[in-house]
Amino acid sequence: MNKIELKSLLTDQALGTPAGRIVRTLSERGSLSAAQLARLTGLAKSTVSTALSELRRADMVVEVGSDSGGSVGRPATALTLNPRAGTCIGVLVGQTEIQVIVADVSHTVLSDHSVSLEPDYPPEQAQDIVRQMIAEAYAGQWHSPAGLLGVGIALGGPVNPINGQVLRGGLPRWVGRDVRAMFGPMFDAPLFFDNESNCAAIAEMTWGAAQGHDDFIVLTLDLGVGGAIVSGGKVMRGIAGGAGEFGHVVIDPDGPLCRCGNRGCLEVYANFRPYLAEAEERFGEPLRVNDVVRRALDGDAVCGALIARAGEAGGRGLGLIGSVFNPSLVVIGGRLAMAGDMLMSPLSQSFERYSLIKREDVPEEARTVLKRSHFSENGACMGAVGLVLRHRRHETAMHLN
C-alpha cells in the first residue's frame, strides 16, 4: 500500500470496511492495542486481527513498542499508523499570532513554529506567512507535502461551517471572507476549519484533559472569552458556526461596546485586557498575559491579585455554563489557566456562587468537575491537526466530529 491508499482508507466510504474503520480509529486516537481497537470499532476481535495482519503486511500499521502501564502480565502491543504514511498540517490564525504544526499520522509532532503579529493584521499577510511557514516546515525533512493528508485551520473567531465565511466576533478585518477560498488553493489536500475554541476542544478530547469524555464544556479565559460544547462525542458548531460563544452572551444591554458590535457582552467584563492595562500601569512597562502569569507564579502579589480578580469575573461565565449545561466536566483553557490554583480557586468559588445547583445539594458523583487544560498555548493549533486526523468534513452543519 502507498500514500494514495491511506487517503482512500480515510474516506467516509471506507468506514464500511473493517480496514477503513481501524485506520480511521488509529488516525483519531494515535496508538491503540488490538483489544482497544475491537472495543472502539465495535468489530469482532477476529475481524480486527485479520484486518490488522493485512494492514501490517502493507506497512500501513506498525508496532510502537509495549505499554505495560505498570500492570502484571504480558503487555499489550500498541499499534499506530505508519508515521511515514502521511502528514497533517494544523494552522492557527489567531488574534495576534500565526502558528503552524506539522504532525504525522502516528500523532508525532514534526515541527511547530509561530510568529507574533500586530492585532488586526490583514488577511493577505496571513496567507503569505502561512505559505512561507509551511514551506519552511517541509524544507530539508524526510516528509514531503506529497504525503499531505489534509490541512486544518483554527480561526480566532466564528466561521460559518457551511460556506466558510468568517463572522463577527473574532477577527474584524476577516469578516465576510471565505476561509476555503483563502487557504484551499494553497494545498492539494482537503481543508478543514473551525474556530480556535472548538479546535481546542478537539485537542482536549484527543490528547488533553477530556480524554475519554464524550460530554464536556471548554471555557477559555484570555484576552477574549470563548468556549466549546461537546455533546455525545461531537463538537457543536451551531447552524452558522456560532455555538459556544459564551463570551458574547449579553449581560447588560446598556453596557460598554464589545468588539462584536453588541453592548455589555460577558467578554467585556471577563476578558483580561483591563487587568493587563492595570499591570502595565503598576510596572511601567508593556506586559503580555504570559508575563503576568509568570510573575504571579514567581510570587508577585500584584499579579497574583489580578489573576484572582480575573478568576472571580470569569466565574460569571462558569456560572452561566453551570445553569445552561450542568456539565459533568468543564475544561478551563486560555493562557490564564497556566496560573493553576491561583486562577482555579477563585474560579471554583465563583462557579459555586453563580450556579443553580450547589455542591452540597448533590452527591459527589453529581458534581461538576473543573479541570485545567492540558495545553499551555498549543491547544488550538493541535486541535487543527486533530480536525485532519479525525477527518471531519466542514459541510456538517450542526456537528464537527
Residues that bind a second copy (CB under 8 A): 158, 160, 162-163, 165, 167-169, 175, 214-215, 229, 231-232, 234, 236-246, 248-253, 260, 262, 316, 319-320, 322-328, 353-358, 361-363, 365-368, 397-399
Full DSSP string of 129-176: HHHHHHHHHHTT-SS-GGGEEEEEEEESS-B-TTT-BB-TTS-GGGTT
| Nearest residue to 91 (alpha-carbon basis) of 241, 199, 7 | 199
Burial of 312 (0-12, 13-18, 19+ CB in 10 A): middle
CB of 346 to a second copy, least distance (A): 14
CB of residue 319 vs a second copy: minimum separation in angstroms? 5
SS (H, E, C) 54-110: HHHHCCCEEEEEEECCCCCCCCEEEEEECHHHCEEEEEEECCCEEEEEEEECCCCEE
| Residues recorded for the chain | 401
CB of 277 to a second copy, least distance (A): 23
Shortest distance in whole angstroms from residue 248 CB to a second copy: 4
**Minimum distance from residue 42 beta carbon to a second copy (Å):** 13
Nearer residue to a second copy within complex by CB, 113 or 353: 353
DSSP state of 226: E
**Assigned C-alpha cell, 369:** 468537575
Q: CB-wise, 127 or 328, nearer to a second copy?
A: 328
- Nearer to a second copy by Cβ, of 69 and 232: the residue is 232
Cβ proximity to a second copy, 29 vs 237, nearer residue: 237
List the beta bridge partners of residue 180.
none
CB of 401 to a second copy, least distance (A): 12
How far is Cα 234 from Cα 222, in angstroms, rounded to an integer? 24
Residue nearer to a second copy on the CB measure, 146 or 257: 257
Query: Would you say 267 or 377 has its CB closer to a second copy?
Result: 267
Q: How many CB atoms lie within 10 A of CB 298?
A: 9
User: How far is the C-alpha of 139 from the C-alpha of 360, rounded, in Å?
Assistant: 58
User: Quick one: 25 or 165, whose CB is closer to a second copy?
Assistant: 165
- Residue closer to a second copy by CB (options 141, 163) is 163
Least Å distance, CB 388 to a second copy, is: 23
Residue of 318, 129, 344, 333 lying closest to 221 (CA atoms): 333
Q: What span, in angstroms and rounded, lies between the C-alpha atoms of 151 and 242? A: 22
Closest contact distance (angstroms) between CB of 72 and a second copy is 32
